[in-house]
Amino acid sequence: MNSWRKSHREAYVQDFRLPSETEKNSILNLYNEHLKDFSNDNGTVTEILSTGESGVDKTLNAAELASWTMITHLILNLSETVTKG
């Protein structure tokens, strides 16, 4: 591994942290709420999954995928996730 990659990899790993139990429980509770809502709302699921350039794997459960998509949005929009210059 070249020195540039090694230093950037080490910087990434250094800033990484695992979620606390409270954070994990909050995320799982929110996922379950989304899953419950999306299981009864195909229109919203279709709207969420039609966003973006990639196609949807039809072998996946659409309500679960939409729920995880919302969780991903939550995590990526946390202030500690956003790179600040």
Structure-block tokens of residue 77: 């929009």
| CA atoms 44, 45, 49, 55: torsion sign | negative
The model's pLDDT over 10-57, given as tens digits with 9 standing for 90+, comes to: 655 556 778 899 999 999 999 999 999 999 999 999 999 998 898 999
d(CA 76, CA 72) in angstroms, rounded, equals 6
* Domain ranges within the chain, ordered by starting residue: 19-85
Give the predicted TM-score (pTM) of the model.
Answer: 0.74
Q: What are phi and psi of 17, to 5 degrees?
A: -145, 150
